Structure 1
Amino acid sequence: MQIHPYPVQRPATGSGRQYRLFGLLALLLIGLGASIALHWNERLYFHLTHQWNVSAHDPALRWLPGYRVAIDARPIEGISRNLSAITYDSDLDRLLGVINGGPTEIVALSKRGELLERYPLEGFGDIEGLTYMGGGRVAVSDERAQRISIFQLPTLARSINVSEARFFSLGIGLNGNKGFEGVTYDAVGDRLFIVKERDPRQLYEVRGVAASLDGQLQLAVHDRSDWIASQVFATDLSDIHFDAETGHLILLSDESRLVMELGADGRMLSYRSLNSLFSDLGRSAPQPEGVTLDNDGTLYVVSEPNLFYSFRREEGQPEYHEPEEQQDEITKLSMTEKRHRMIHG
């Protein structure tokens, strides 16, 4: 009988250990690369060095972590898709939004996300951004042409032709569908702030806008891109809002699902997430495209296709289904009646 020796298990060779170490190192490098690309490392650094040391009660801060959802992803009836940008009309105490990707329109919304009026835009390009400048005047940004068009909203809702607008262009680094994504206005400083979405992310400040429209040409353009390059940990920028109460900028990122507060000197001050894993939202905002604040400090966000969010710095249950009988008399007025009262008293 032939006896076969029992095979002896040999210890792992040095080359085997090297392969495993190489695989582990590759995974670590991939994770580090993803962290840098998505700015997770910058967000962690911000938490460790700044946000924990800032007072939530500082009146100079908007302090976005203190905001709680009041209306969570309400679909806007009458709008099916392509809702982009939002701004606050302080004269009529309403919100204005943009619909693009088909017939382009400005829409008026209540502060509960109800559709009130439509203003079809004729002859305009790829409108992505919108800001209210006061006195019925609005500015819109054309993403592809990197053009800012300024015009008066009519007293009665109707179509608005591009011939009614005055415009200026900043054809800097034209990049197709990754151009001007958001615009906001500082009435006291007579400044427009404009953000470019990505590749690269950019921020411009344009001074003397209203003065130039009134006949005193004095436009001055300042590149503030260094603010977002060093401070903003988001992969893109989808909208911007100037907070008149604090003098700060509120930035929105679609890809990173973040709302961020930037100081007057470009420093990152606070942020809150629109990802349900890190916030009080029932589901993550699918594609947040617009952000604004009203005179009461309520924060509004809109997301494609047609979702409406509001946030307040107070505790309480979401008011998604606010009863109609709780509306005040001014809210019940039509937009035409409101504008008539504003003009004639």
Structure 2
Amino acid sequence: MPSPASASVPSKRRFYLRWPFCLAVAALIGYGVVVAMHWDDRGLLWIKEGFESPAERQESIWLPDYVADIDAKPLPGMERDEASDLAYNPHTRTLFSVMGKHPFLVELTLDGDVLRKMPLVGWANPEGVAVLEDGQIAIVDERNHDLTVVKVDAGTTSLNRADYLSHDLGDAGNGNKGFEAIAWDVPRQRLIIGEERPPKLYTWNTDGHSPLQGEKQPLPNDELDLRNLSALGVDPRTGHLLVLSADSNLLLELDEQGEQVSFMTLLGGFNGLADTIPRAEGVAMDEQGTLYIVSEPNLFYRFRKH
């Protein structure tokens, strides 16, 4: 009968033969996660950020410097409505958000307090909102694949889709993962429209006053290495584009050439966040550079540069 010591030798040998295989499997799984989450791209951008000069940082939004001063403030009475986007109105210094599950347009203070809640009658799934001029607001309906420009003033209590002209955005390639985001680019006099998955950008020229003419045009961009595109915003100071991704837990800054400049993770423990933003669906920035985000189901965030 073999001794206990000799019996343990094959067992040890099997262990040492197994662990390189297990390590290889773990490495392969880890690599897959890194690629799927685009952490490899973020790592390259993080390295690139380190080489930006103080002057270059000053000329950009520079998201790493932002810290939350309002963290996960609930929007009362909207727990079941699903906040879907956010836009800033410089004329009233208020914010407008659309609720997708139960269609509403909501006006908020810059502190995230609800001023009014306006039913959107006839909309199926409003997902994007942008403030234009003269009280005009553009709303993207993901399910109807269209864009409607409505008129909102201080006395508006509800909006009926049948009262306004809707513009067909065409079929999206992925059902309910279609046209998700919209922002008005004031310096370039155009709307920027985003398709959720795979992320794509389009433009529609407008001065913000006149009725929309023509149709959307593709905006080629190779920098949208995100799992999805949830929302868009434009910094009125620099003209840089903010691209939000709920699935990637990420906010990207793109310059006027569409190149990545900086990014901010939406994970807990970073940029003043106590916890990860559950599902970031809307982003806006005011003329002071203050950043606002809304998340499903009904959470409000504000970030200031420190």
The answer, yes or no, to whether TM exceeds 0.5 is yes
Helix, strand or coil for the counterpart of 1:275? Answer: coil
How much does 1:109 deviate? 0.5
Sequence identity of aligned pairs in percent? 33
CA distance in 1: counterparts of 2:140 and 2:264, whole angstroms: 26
CA distance in 2: counterparts of 1:250 and 1:206, whole angstroms: 17
RMSD: 2.2
In structure 2, the CA distance between the partners of 1:153 and 1:160, relative to structure 1 (3 Å rule), is same
CA distance in 2: counterparts of 1:205 and 1:23, whole angstroms: 49
The aligned residue for residue 204 of structure 1 is: 202
Helix, strand or coil for the counterpart of 2:222? Answer: helix
Identify unmatched segments of 5+ residues in structure 2. none
In structure 2, the CA distance between the partners of 1:170 and 1:218, relative to structure 1 (3 Å rule), is closer
Helix, strand or coil for the counterpart of 1:213? Answer: coil
The aligned residue for residue 224 of structure 1 is: 220
- From 241, 247, 250, the equivalent of 2:242 is 250
Match of 1:54, as an amino acid? Answer: E
Helix, strand or coil for the counterpart of 1:24? Answer: helix
1:89 equivalent to 2:81? Answer: no
1:6 equivalent to 2:7? Answer: no
Contact 1:145 1:174 in 2 (8 A): no
1:122 equivalent to 2:106? Answer: no
CA distance in 2: counterparts of 1:302 and 1:68, whole angstroms: 15
How much does 1:5 deviate? 5.6
**Deviating more after overlay: 92-101 vs 54-63:** 54-63
Q: Which has the larger radius of gyration?
A: 1
1:8-48, Cα deviation, whole Å (9 max, x unpaired) = 24457988755443332222111111111111111112222
CA distance in 2: counterparts of 1:36 and 1:146, whole angstroms: 30
CA distance in 1: counterparts of 2:255 and 2:264, whole angstroms: 15
The aligned residue for residue 134 of structure 1 is: 133
Q: How many residues align?
A: 302
1:175 equivalent to 2:167? Answer: no
1:151-196, Cα deviation, whole Å (9 max, x unpaired) = 2114402221112222222224342221111100113322111111
Match of 2:273, as an amino acid? Answer: L
How much does 1:295 deviate? 1.7
CA distance in 2: counterparts of 1:36 and 1:121, whole angstroms: 40
CA distance in 2: counterparts of 1:255 and 1:296, whole angstroms: 28
Contact 1:89 1:96 in 2 (8 A): yes
Aligned 1:54-73 pairs, distance under 5 A: 54-56=52-54, 58-73=57-72
The aligned residue for residue 288 of structure 2 is: 296
How much does 1:257 deviate? 1.7
The aligned residue for residue 278 of structure 2 is: 286
Identify unmatched segments of 5+ residues in structure 1. 315-345
**Deviating more after overlay: 52-61 vs 302-311:** 52-61
The aligned residue for residue 52 of structure 1 is: 50
Helix, strand or coil for the counterpart of 1:120? Answer: strand
